[in-house]
């Protein structure tokens, strides 16, 4: 039976991994090393601002270990959603790190770079073809024009093209998570369902093990009927529960995982414990449908200033929502007509995590309050936050005893300018073709 072995060193490039775990993974003679480098989880700032949410030194550390080992073994290294968000600026950032390592270690190789950016004029010309991905409004020309970066999520096909043209390293823009792990397998004719399902689990590395960790290695071995999984660290193990549970991860439907060109269907998937640390998975299928790519874009909406405070007065806490409403009204009265802003309070110990969805909003003996002011300029945000903080600090609520101040402010200065604020404004589907994304090739070092 044909088999293909994939090594996933870490959940996200820059999250790290124990060197010994990686070396152990190499003893299983992987046919490809795949690593996801991005996510939308950290929010819209990183796409909008064009910066990585992972640290440069941490990314370089990971690649400095992975890259030479892949080249030495003549196996492809596949990196998806480079730089965290996968726009051209993120690709350039990640490419610079790779070329820096190559120069320092005297490495030479052929690298494919696959941009994921969508041209605004192209998107404006195809607005009527887009559909919202979820309960969102239709995409507008303003959404497109306001976005600082717009990317689309590519499938595995451009990675196959890069491999067909002899790339040793493939650096991709925004990518469907399983693609980098499944591309070689699909190129070689393995069934799509098991290949993509294995890729979906491997993209998070050892998170699917017990105990789970995003900064440890996982190996997947694919065959014609399914795949097996095991962590390389002997302190971890895969169980039916851990692997099946992770198969539910990041899905709106527990059985279906949509992607470019179809959906992974897990309704008939079976999980079997092979040994103490290994699980086998069978029965996963990929159901094709019309090819479409997911668009992502974010825009600048203002600038933020924060203040963090603690409250322990039970009288104050008992009427906290009334006090905050009254302080909000005081801010509005003071700045009405002079500043376009938003003002939010995140109250930890009451409902700071889930907000209005909190089922048991019962305050404890102390709460933490984050004053969150966003305005059109940093100066205006500073002003709103400062006024709100001072008003709340000295607000005279009913039953107040001490007048020295209502808030315990742990930092001086108390107000922290947090900079630019972005919001996602594009989360839509666009009909496309699998060959929409084109690899670009570069020779790194001397061959």
Closest CA to 300 of 419, 127, 122, 138: 419
Average pLDDT over residues 179-186: 98
Q: Give the model confidence (pLDDT) of 48-86 as tens digits.
A: 999 999 999 999 999 999 999 999 999 999 999 999 999
DSSP 435: G
Q: Give the model confidence (pLDDT) of 395-440 as tens digits.
A: 999 999 888 899 999 999 999 999 999 999 999 999 999 989 999 9
pTM of the model: 0.93
Burial class of 48 by CB neighbour count within 10 A (0 to 12, 13 to 18, 19+): buried
50: left (phi over 0), alpha (psi -120 to 50) or beta: left
Q: Which residue(s) pair with 33 in the sheet?
A: 7, 77
Phi, psi of 58 (to 5 degrees): -70, -40
DSSP 138: P
Which sequence spans correspond to the domains of the chain?
4-116+153-291+432-444, 300-425
- Exposure string of 13-47, with b = 16+ CB inside 10 Å and e = fewer, is bbbbbbeebbebbbeeebbbbbbbbbbbeeebbbb
> 1 or 82: which carries more pLDDT confidence?
82
Q: Give the model confidence (pLDDT) of 244-284 as tens digits.
A: 999 988 888 889 999 999 999 999 999 999 999 999 999 99
> 134 or 93: which carries more pLDDT confidence?
93
Contact 143, 439 (CB under 8 A): no
Average pLDDT in the chain = 95
**Token representation of residue 312:** 């322990």
Give residue 1's pLDDT.
65
Give residue 53's pLDDT.
96
Full strand arrangement of the beta sheet holding 4-8: 270-275, 278-282, 226-231, 218-222, 4-8, 32-36, 77-80, 169-172, 109-114, 440-444
Give residue 403's pLDDT.
84
CATH topology for the 300-425 domain: Alpha-Beta Plaits (3.30.70)
Per the document, the length of the chain is 447
Rg (CA), the chain: 25
Contact 382, 349 (CB under 8 A): no
How many percent of the chain have pLDDT more than 90?
A: 90
Give residue 352's pLDDT.
77
Locate all alpha helices (DSSP H) within 112-233, ordered by sequence.
120-125, 141-146, 157-164, 179-187, 192-202
Full strand arrangement of the beta sheet holding 262-265: 256-259, 262-265, 285-288
Q: Give the model confidence (pLDDT) of 356-407 as tens digits.
A: 888 877 777 899 999 999 999 999 999 999 999 999 999 999 999 888 899 9
């Amino acid at each position: 039976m044909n088999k293909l072995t994939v090594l996933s060193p870490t959940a996200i490039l820059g999250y790290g991994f124990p060197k010994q775990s990686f070396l152990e993974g190499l003893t299983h003679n992987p046919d490809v090393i795949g690593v996801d480098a991005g996510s939308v989880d950290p929010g819209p700032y990183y796409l909008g601002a064009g910066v990585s949410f992972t640290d440069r030194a941490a990314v370089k550390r990971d690649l400095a270990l992975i890259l030479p080992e892949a080249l030495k073994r003549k196996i492809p290294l596949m990196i998806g959603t480079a730089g965290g968000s996968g726009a051209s600026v993120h690709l350039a950032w990640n490419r610079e790190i790779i070329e820096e390592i190559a120069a320092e270690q005297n490495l030479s190789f052929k690298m494919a770079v696959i941009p994921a950016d969508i041209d605004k004029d192209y998107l404006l010309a195809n607005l009527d073809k887009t559909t919202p991905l979820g309960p969102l409004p239709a995409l507008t020309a303003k959404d497109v024009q306001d976005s600082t970066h717009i990317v689309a999520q590519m499938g595995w096909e451009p990675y196959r093209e890069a491999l067909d043209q002899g790339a040793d390293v493939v650096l991709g823009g925004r990518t469907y998570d399983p693609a980098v792990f499944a591309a070689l397998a699909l190129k070689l004719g393995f069934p799509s369902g098991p290949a993509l399902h294995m890729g979906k689990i491997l993209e998070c590395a050892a998170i699917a093990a017990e105990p789970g960790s995003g900064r440890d290695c996982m190996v997947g071995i694919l065959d014609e009927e399914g795949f097996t999984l095991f962590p390389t660290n002997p302190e971890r193990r895969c169980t039916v529960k851990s692997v099946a549970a992770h198969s539910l991860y990041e899905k709106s439907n527990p059985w279906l995982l949509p992607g470019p060109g179809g959906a992974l269907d897990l309704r008939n998937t079976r999980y079997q414990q092979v040994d103490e640390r290994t699980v086998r998975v069978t029965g996963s299928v990929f159901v094709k449908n019309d090819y479409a790519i997911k668009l992502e874009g974010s825009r600048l909406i203002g600038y933020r200033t924060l203040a963090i405070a603690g409250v322990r007065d039970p009288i104050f806490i008992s009427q906290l929502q009334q006090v905050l409403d009254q302080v909000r009204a005081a801010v509005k009265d003071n700045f009405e007509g002079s500043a376009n802003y938003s003002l939010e309070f995140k109250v930890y110990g009451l409902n700071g995590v889930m907000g209005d969805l909190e089922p048991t909003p019962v305050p404890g003996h102390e709460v933490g309050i984050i004053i969150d002011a966003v305005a059109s300029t940093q100066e205006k945000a500073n002003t709103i936050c400062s006024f709100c903080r001072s008003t709340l600090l000295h607000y005279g609520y009913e039953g107040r005893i001490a007048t020295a101040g209502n808030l315990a402010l742990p930092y001086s200065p108390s107000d922290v300018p947090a900079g630019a604020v972005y919001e996602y404004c594009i989360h839509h589907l666009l009909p496309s073709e699998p060959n929409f994304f084109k690899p670009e090739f570069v020779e790194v070092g001397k061959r």
